[in-house]
Each structure stands twice: as C-alpha cells, then as structure tokens.
A and B are shown apart, each in its own frame.
Chain A
C-alpha cells in the first residue's frame, strides 16, 4: 500500500473544504485590519473618555466627558473645526469645478489616441512626493516668488502664507483624485445618449445640464470623498503654507507632542471620524459608493 504524504493529505482536505481554504486565506488580513486597525479606532474612543493628571501629564483611567466637552464647546476648538470643514468643502468645490471640464474633454472631445496620454499626464503628479509639491507652493507663495513675479505686471502680489495658500495647495494636491472618478463616469456615459438629446432638439447647454450632469453626479460625489477626506486629515501642508492658521490635525499633533495630552488628542481625532461617517452616509444616498 502506498503511503500518503502529509502534504497531499492536507492538499486534498483543502480541496474538499472551501471553508478551510477561505479561513486560511482570510485570517491574517482580517486579524491585521479587523483586530489591529478597528481595535485601534475603538481604543481611540475609549482614550478620549479618560483624563490626564494635571501635574505629571500621565493618563489616568478615570471616566470623564471633559475632553469631549472641550472639543465641542471651547471657542478655539470650534473655530478650528469649522475652518477645517469649510476649507475641505471649498477645496472639494474648486476641484470639482476644475475637474468637470478637464474630464469631459478627456472622455468625450479628445481623440481616442490622446486619451491614455492625457490620463497619464493628470496622474503622474499624483506620484510625485507630497512634501515636495507642498514645498513648491511655499516657494511660489513666498515673497519674491513666482506668484509675485507673474502678478507684478497686473499689480498683484502674493497673499503670503495663510488660508488662501492652504486652499490653493490642497486643491492642487488632491486634484487627480477628483479627475479620475469623473473621467471614468463620463467614459461609461454612452455617446448615443448625447446624440439622441441633440436630435430631439436640445441645445448643448441643456444637454450638459439635463443629461450629462445628472449622470455624472455620483462620480463627482465619489471624487469628493477623496478630496474632502484628504483635506480633513491634512496638517503638514497647513504647517508648510498655512502661516499661523491651524487645522484639526495640527491640534491633534500638538496634543500628543508638546502639550502631551493624549486623551484630548484622541477626542479631537474623533471629530473627523464623525464628519466622515456623516459624509459617507450622504454619499451613499447619492449612489456614489459604487463609483469608488
């Protein structure tokens, strides 16, 4: 009688039981993401409900709502929250306004030969270093920089480092994230639909408004999830071009570093989580999640 090796027994057992195969494949990524990452998010909520000793700065495991109260009622924290959300909305609107014509040109006007080249040209800057791009804008907004030089004939000077520079830089950084979903959405939109609207007598403006825009809207929302979330979570570009202005991320970073108040940092960190949950559930209603 032939001896059956352990390997072939294991192999045939795996072939017979798909559940075991699935468990073997899924356990490692599920442990890493489910237990470690989701666990870390849950721990954030718990830490936000703890307090720190005023003298030693050590965490005391005493339940308190003080950190949450500070985040919700302190005027400084509220101002920063509204500023961060406001800039995220503004950056999203700017990117959508710029991306719509560009994506439309790429998908429907440019010749098919040019299309992949244009997509690559839009996406190449995505992979250039984030810091380098923020730094480039710092040097452009700086005194005597490119913006001062270009604006000089028109009497325009650079607004310097602050909110304007932050909005420009972030809109620049996240632009490719908005173009790609919209391009994909327009690419799927059949040209015959637009021709039919034209044959039925609609003028170009009306076709764009009543046919193209409603059909591409979910893709715009999908892109906006990226631009909104990335702006909400940024604090480094803000340090580089924002001057003295602060975002939620700066408050979180300062509280784990210089101020050393981990529970308060955790409480501030919960704000973008809540904002994103609201944003994602609204996006879901717009049918945007299938476009991600």
Chain B
C-alpha cells in the first residue's frame, strides 16, 4: 500500500463520519415516531406509543396505502413485461439503432424528474385529452420502472449465455417450450428482484406522481406531502415515515440475495 499510515487512518475516519451522517436522519425519524413532544424538539422530552395507535386507525393513510399498492402492482406488471422484452432483444440481437434503444430505456430516469412529469402531464391533458386518473399514473410509473427490470434481466441473460437454449432446441423443443421450460426458469429470480425494486421505486415516487395522478388518486407519498405541513398530523406522518424506512429494508435485502447487486440496477 502506497499510502502513509496517517492517510489511511484519515480515510477510515472520513468514511465513518459519512456513514454516520447517512444514517442520522433515518434514526431521527425512528425516534420522532415515539417522541412525546408534539413539536419534535430535540432531545425528546419523553416517549410514547400513542402516535402508533393513532396512525393504525388513520383512514386517510390506510386508503393512500391501498392506492399505492394497486398503482405499484400494475406498474410493476407492465414494467416486467416491457423490461424483459427490451432486455431480450438488446442482449440477443445486433441491429441498427441498438444503442439508441438502450439510451431510450434509461432516458425516463436519466432526464430530470420534472421533465418526465410535465411531458407526460402535457401529453395526457393537451395532446390526448385524457383526464388524469389512476391509469395515467400507472402509465407514468411503468415508464420509469422499465429500466430497473431491464438492468436486472439483461445482467442475468449475459451471465446465462445461449448454450442451454440451443441444447433445448437441438433436442427438439420448439421456441415456446424452450422459453417456458429453459429461459424463463433461469430468469425467474432476476424477474423477482427487478419486480420488487420496480415496485419499491413506484411506491416511493412523488416528483412525476404529482404531475400524472388524478385529483382523487392519493398515493402514500401524496398523502404524506399533503399532511407534512399540518402540525396536527405531524405525529401520524412520523409513524408512517418510520414504517416506510423499516419496509425499505425488505426489497433491498431480497434483491441483494437474488441478484447480488445492492443498487438493484438503479445506479
């Protein structure tokens, strides 16, 4: 190692400090959900579980949770289909415009969020004359979720190679049987990882969501934002926030086990 001992210690400390700062805000949220002080002053004056029981009976939050799950599931199914098709065509074939297509897949997430938001909002309302609803929201979410599925599936296809499929065809299976009995089982865990991460992305999205959701469509992030500035609702928002932080560990843990990529193809 070419670094001096002092430099190595310095790097270790810097990394430790940055990691600590990464987790402090999340820990603050966890503690505030049981903070007895209504204004959430620091340090907490005492602890209570009262906010948790209030949140468990909050009809608005539960309704929003239901909407978020429905939107997330529909967007995930669409993203799974489109992302898999795109990954299979880009991995297996060389064709004119191939690079343009792979750029197209990352574009909805690479362009700034407001651009995707206003472009889709404008396309629905001005060009197509479609009123915003739950369905327009699903279309918007599916558009930027494709890339997560795509990244997971294409990584798997690359590792898999084409030998097994060729063997299956040589042994007399037609292309449908080969897909169903060979390709699909090999992709299954990548699809599960991609689907989970697409769902998590949709579940959390707010920037594009506010541009493409109808008036009556309140997802959980919209509900949080609506209640964020109401002092009366702050304790319940804290509890919902805590639940979200704890839940976010689930998809990343499973995706890490399945795909071995902790970013899940998001970076």
Taking Cβ atoms with an 8 Å cutoff, the residues of A that contact B are: 7-8, 11-12, 14-15, 18, 21-22, 25-26, 28-30, 32-34, 36-41, 43-44, 47, 59, 98, 101-102, 104-106, 108-110, 116, 118-133, 135-140, 142, 144-146, 148-149, 172, 175-177, 180-181, 194-195, 197-198, 204, 207, 225-226, 229-230, 232-236, 239-240, 248-249, 252-253, 256, 262, 265-266, 269, 272-273, 276, 292
Contacts and interface: CB of A to CB of B under 8 A. Distances in A.
A236 B225 contact: yes
B225 A38 contact: no
Contact of B86 (A29, A133, A181): A29
Contacts of A101: 10-11, 14-15
A28 B86 CA distance: 8
B104 A11 contact: no
A204 B123 contact: no
B175 interface: yes
Given A18-B93, A44-B118, A207-B2, A25 B85 contact: yes
B175 A14 contact: yes
Given A32-B143, A47-B126, A132 B110 contact: no
Given A128-B244, A149-B42, A249 B113 contact: yes
Nearest to A184: B267
Given A43-B127, A137-B25, A234-B207, A131 B221 contact: yes
Contacts of B95: 22
6 contacts: A33-B143, A131-B225, A132-B26, A136-B26, A136-B29, A234-B113
Nearest to A30: B101
A268 to B, nearest CB: 8
A230 B21 CA distance: 20
A125 B224 contact: no
Instruction: Tell me what chain A mostly uses at the interface: helix, strand, loop, or mixed.
Output: helix
Contact of A29 (B85, B114, B228): B85
A207 B4 CA distance: 12
B121 A256 contact: yes
Given A140-B28, A248-B114, A131 B206 contact: yes
What size tier do the contact residues of chain B reach? 35 or more
Contact of B262 (A36, A39, A43, A120): A120
B2 A204 contact: yes
Contact of A8 (B1, B85, B174): B174
A37 B127 contact: no
Nearest to B3: A204
B55 to A, nearest CB: 14
Given A29-B146, A109-B1, A240-B228, A123 B263 contact: yes
Contact of A26 (B81, B101, B107, B237): B101
A232 B112 contact: yes
Nearest to B241: A132
Contact of A229 (B111, B175, B176): B111
B41 A37 contact: no
A32 B111 contact: no
